[in-house]
Every structure is written in structure tokens, then in C-alpha cells.
A and B are shown apart, each in its own frame.
Chain A
Amino acid sequence: MAINVNTVYQTVLSILNKEQRGYLTPDEYNKIGAQAQLEIFEGYFPSGDQFNRKNQNNSQNDTEWFNIYDNVVTNLEPFIYRDATWQKTSLANPSFWDAPYWTLTPAVTIALDGRVVKQVGNVEVQYNTASSNNSSNGLIQTSICERISKKEYNLITRSRLTAPSVNDPVYYVNNFNLSAPNLRIYPNPTPSSISIANGLVTSELIVQPLNPQWNYTIDPTVGAYIYNDVDSVDFELNPSEQTDLILKILLYAGVVIRDPQIIQAAATEIQKEEIQEKS
């Protein structure tokens, strides 16, 4: 469920035009909409951290609907991609120090439809502990990989008490190319020469929303913009964010049309809401 891009545009226009203050072109709206959506999306992370402190100091409420931390998580849900599968990739001519790394499978890349990966969450790895010469004596088990840094990896692999194992595997982000992040996982979950249960790696991802797009055609007689829902892209935020979204767009629209009153009104509304949420 998303927020209709046309509904938001019409609301913004009707507020802006109330006293013939100005007009926001579709192109400006698309740019401002993308900015406002990203701002709200990025705001979930510091908010989640702040609201989680209530959990940490045992002052969070236990109600079904009014747990503010859970509400932030709910708002983030549209951007969590679950069970993303990863595939082993090796360099064409690897040097002996080039360990294999893991990239998202083509199916996931297609499903993401151009969305950028913001974070990689829990990585689950299926291991087969069979020895390389006997596929029948192993145990297939799924383990949760802990995310560590390369520095931590260098440290923990030097102690026999903390070295990664099939029960406690680790991964670090080898190269966070936004469109194609890749991971290094230890121990390597693909046992060679074992046909059953080759390492299966899955994870959760947080992806950034696609930019909204208010697509239009031009009326040949009066030259007006006519909304065309084909190729338009809705806002991907939770519908409960519609008010916030409109206020943020208005705030930027005020800047565009150089109307301090609009800026002031929108900023006051946003501030009021934030105070109510975070106090």
C-alpha cells in the first residue's frame, strides 16, 4: 500500500493556491516529493534509535497500538525486503588472497526494480557439515551470521576461542556498492564437491524508496497538465505518513515560490507533530 502521488499533488496545489500564492510545476513537485520521501524515510532510523531507549530503560508501554517504537518499525516495513538470496561469486582470475564473495542473485536484483540497498540485515546461512569425500555423513543446519567489521574479523580469527564456525559464522560487507553490495562469509558456506545443500545464503535488506513520479500529458487546447497514471510512481511510504509528507512538500514548496508564510506554517506543523511524538 502506498500513497497516491496524484492525491498528494492535488492536496499540495490546493493548499498553495488557496490565496493565489503560487504554483508548483510537476517537475518541481517530483523533485521535492523525492526529497520529502527520503527525508521521512531517513528519519526512521534516528527515531527508531530514540524510541528504542524506552525499551532499554524499561519505560516503553506494552499496548497493542501505542508502542511508538513498534509504530516506527511498522512504517519501515515497506522497505524491508525479506529472504533476499545471495550467490557465490568468484573473481575470474583470483589471486590466492581473493576469497569468494557473495552478491545478490539476479532474481533479487530484478525484484528490487532499481531500489538502492541501504542496509543488509541478518544473514542466514545453510551449512552442510559433510566432509568433502562423503556427502552422507553431514548435518545440514542453518546458522545466523553475525555482522562484524573487517577489523573485528582480523582479531577474532586469531583466537581459537572466537574463530568463526558453522555454529557461529560471521560476515562483513566487502564492498558496499549500493546497487550490488557484496559480502564475505566465514566459514565459507559452499563445501566443494558436495552435491546436496550447497550453501544457501539469505538475508533481510532495507532498501530506499523509489522516487515518486507524477506523470502527465498536456491538454492540447488549454495547455494544462493532465495526470497520467501510466508510468507514474506513487510514494512508497506507509499511508499514515501522508500528512507528514504533504507538510514536508509544502515546506519545500514555500521555498520554491518564496513564500515565508507557507514555510512558517508547514515548519510549525511539523515541529508540533515531532514534539508530540518524541516528548
Chain B
Amino acid sequence: MGLITENNSQYYAGSQHVLGDGSNPISEASFTFDTPLSLGSAGSFANTDAYYALNNFKIYVSTDGGTTFVEWLTEYALKTSSTPEGNITSIVTFVGNIPSGTSIVVVQLKSLTGGQYGNRDAFGDTVEENYGSYSYLTLNEAVENYMVGFVGDGKIIQTAKKYDINFHAKRGLQEFSYDLLKSIKSQELSVPANLSIPIPQDYVNYVKFSWVDSLGVKHIIYPTTLTSNPGSIPLQDVYGKPVQDAFDNNIETTSVTEQRWDTNDTKRITGGYDQNFVDADVNQYDFNRLGVGQRYGSNPLTSQTNGWFTINERTNQISFSSNLVNKIIIFDYVSDGLAYDADSRVPKMAEDALYAYISHAIVASRANQPEYLVQRLKKEKSAKMRNAKIRLSNIKLEEITQVMRGKSKWIKH
């Protein structure tokens, strides 16, 4: 049996039809999308309901054989259930006014294109969120698969509690997220006047910061050791001792270091010209003129115009240098894959590596396991993680060839 349960229309168009039998009214209709149908509230079948916008689908009914469709806004109940293997069925039960037996009932999941029924206004991203889902399996599926395939009589792990497997699977996903998976998250932000942005909710570590020029090209922003954000700024008395408030705690004041850094002119550090030539526009006349090379011996660490960032541990914010104010930045960071349900998924390319990770973790953490078995599983884990890393690195021969062609061209000249 194939693993795909959605048909082409459900996947690509996000729609599914139910045809009446010609005589009996359609009192109930079942829909089998991978995405559970969801109403904002029990009454949000009506567009007058406050939670109507939270629905992730719209129902349309055609009474003229599919020529025209009208959105169905009268009462229906929704019940969604899942089989143990994860097949989802959403049942719509019409109440009172029921589509006739000659009708066609269509559920259209919300899409960036608005769908193709009625006023084509089923706007949302439910359809697009499901695209590419076949390349992943959920962490829960991975754990269930592991319990079936690796735990039991006659297997390496005779018995294991599921919470143990869950623990190691989640730890594995965390470790994989840090250095194996492509689970880099990113935000596009604008640097405000206070030059600081809060650390994202699911942040674990940064990958890079870039600012975006007028051509949409990214320029990397580097961390700096030129300045730092103090962790504590106690107010001092004339003897240099911290002053306490009425609750016996040290009084904190504002940082002069930060104030000076925020108000500096970075060109005094970079040695840049008054005029900034920052776009990656190689046809710009002044850009080429600057390339003549008049700054031999300058330190690249400080003589670049892209700005700097620091992580302020005192305020848990990321602070940027003053030349980046109002700039659009892209913030790439890694999370641990467990922050949200949607994150807890494993690329199929790394599925086997996760199983190997769990096996090793379980056996290695148990007493009285033969050392040869622990070592065997350790090697297996390393090999499979390496394989997964290579697979997920997307190393394609044609792309490497293209890069090499560029290199040879440069050498020829």
C-alpha cells in the first residue's frame, strides 16, 4: 500500500468533491485531507461569526452540475478523527438546510491563490503548508516506527518504556537540529531606532545576520569584539560602591558603553567614505571607481561597511551598530525542533540516523550491556549521521560543476 493517501486534487488544489446520489439529500460528507479541517468556533460556519476568519477551509455547493459554486454558510457540524496510523477523516454533518441529492459539495482548503470556487476568496496558506510534507515524518511517527521495528522479543532492545524512547528521540531531534538538519529558521525584520530586537521565542543559537540592500541582496553582519554589553550596571556612590534601593537591591543605571556605541559614526571605525556604496550593483559607476584600491593594509575586520551586532545578555536582545538603523535585516537562527508541533518532524533523509541515535542512546545508557554492542551501535550512529548530513547538504554534481566552471574561467583569465 502506498504511503500517500491524498489524491492530486487534495494535494495541489486543496479541494475535494462529494457528489450526491441524485435523490437523497447530502446530510453528511466525509473529507480525507492530510490536514484536519478546523473551524474557528462551533458557529463559524457563518461568515458573520467572529471566528470565521480562523476556519482553515470553505465549503461550496453547486446545484447546477458544477458550473457555478456558492459558499455554504448555513449550519453544519464538524467532527475530525484520526486512525492509529494517522489517516485523518473530517465529517461535515449538515443541520437543517441540507444540500439536495443532485448537488456537488466541495471543500476548498484556504490557499494563497484563493482556490477556484465561488468568489475564489478562500485565502490562507493551508494548502501551501501541506506542500512538501511527504519529505518529512512527524516525531511521533518516528517513535511509533521505532517501537515496532527495534523494540521487542528477539530484537536488540527487548523491552523499553515508550517515554524512554520519546526522551531519546526528542534529544536526538534537538542534536540533529543544531548541526545536521536544515532546520534554520529566519525572520525578516527592520532595525528600530533603539537598534535592538528581542531574541525570538524559539531561538537556540544564531546562524547569521544579514542586511538587505535595494537589490534584495544580502550582506552579512558580523559579531564584534569592539564593544560589549555589560551584564550589570550598578549605580555607584562616590566611593565606587553600588547603591541599594529601599528593597536592599542594587540600583541599576543605563550603560554608557551602549549609549556611546549606539550613537557613534561607524565610518570612524571602518574608515569608509562619506558616501556609502553599499548595494551589490556592479554597474554602479562609483562602485567601480572605488575598486581602484586605495586602502591597502586596512584591517578587513573593521573596515567593512556592513555593520556589527552584539548579543545583549542583560536585556536578552540583539543589538546592532548605528549604521544599520532602519535597515531591513534577515535573521537566520536555529531552534531545537521541539518548540512547536509543526517543528517536530524529521526529514526522511535523516530517519535512519534518528533510529540509530535512539538505539545507541538506549543501549549505552543501560547497565550490563555488552560493550561490543554499544560500540557497534555507536559506529552505526556516526555513519548514519554522516550519511544524513551529506544527503541533507544537497551536494549535486551539476551544481558543483557549475561552481568549478566559474573557477576555471577565472583562472584562464
Contacts and interface: CB of A to CB of B under 8 A. Distances in A.
B41 A139 contact: no
A168 B153 contact: no
B42 A136 contact: yes
Interface in B212-232: none
Contact of A52 (B78, B153, B170): B153
Contact of A134 (B42, B143, B158): B42
A169 to B, nearest CB: 10
A52, A60, A137, A161: most-surrounded residue (chain B CB, <10 A): A137
A243 interface: no
A167 B40 contact: no
Contact of B166 (A135, A136, A141, A168): A168
A7 interface: no
A52, A60, A133, A134: most-surrounded residue (chain B CB, <10 A): A134
Interface residues of B, number: 30
A140 B82 contact: yes
Size category, A interface: 20 to 34
B158 A139 contact: no
Contact of A135 (B42, B51, B338): B42
Interface string B123-160: 00000000000000000100100000000011000100
A143 to B, nearest CB: 8
A141 B82 CA distance: 5
Interface string A55-95: 11110100000000000000000000000000000000000
A136 B167 CA distance: 32
Contacts of A135: 42
Contact of B38 (A55, A137, A142, A170): A137
B167 A134 contact: no
Contacts, number: 71
A121 to B, nearest CB: 15
Given A135-B42, A162-B166, A162-B167, A146 B81 contact: no
A136 B82 contact: no
B386 interface: no
B153 A167 contact: no
Interface string B78-89: 111110100010
A218 interface: no
Contacts of B82: 139-141
A134 B41 contact: yes
A148 to B, nearest CB: 7
B163 interface: yes
B331 to A, nearest CB: 26
Interface in B23-61: 36, 38-42, 44, 51
A148 B39 contact: no
Contact of A161 (B38, B77, B79, B171): B171
Contacts of B338: 161
Contacts of A137: 38-41
B241 interface: no
A170 B164 CA distance: 13
Nearest to A57: B154
A141 B42 contact: no
Interface string A111-140: 000000000000000000000011111111
A60 B167 CA distance: 32
B162 interface: yes
Contact of B162 (A57, A138, A139, A168): A168
A52, A136, A146: most-surrounded residue (chain B CB, <10 A): A136
Contacts of A196: 79
A154 to B, nearest CB: 13
Nearest to A153: B163
B161 A148 contact: yes
A159 interface: yes
Interface in A157-214: 159, 161-162, 164, 167-168, 170, 196-197
Nearest to B171: A161
A139 B166 contact: no
A108 interface: no
A170 B41 contact: no
A255 interface: no
Contacts of B158: 56
Given A137-B39, A148-B161, A55 B154 contact: yes
B80 A140 contact: yes
B291 to A, nearest CB: 54
Nearest to A55: B153
Contacts of A167: 140
A174 to B, nearest CB: 19
B80 A138 contact: yes
Interface of B: 36, 38-42, 44, 51, 77-82, 84, 88, 140, 143, 153-154, 158, 161-164, 166-167, 170-171, 338
Nearest 8 A/B pairs, CB to CB: A55-B153, A140-B81, A136-B39, A141-B82, A137-B38, A162-B163, A136-B78, A161-B170
Given A156-B163, A161-B171, 10 more contacts: A52-B153, A56-B153, A134-B42, A136-B78, A137-B38, A137-B40, A140-B82, A141-B82, A161-B167, A168-B166
6 contacts: A56-B153, A133-B41, A136-B78, A139-B80, A162-B166, A167-B140
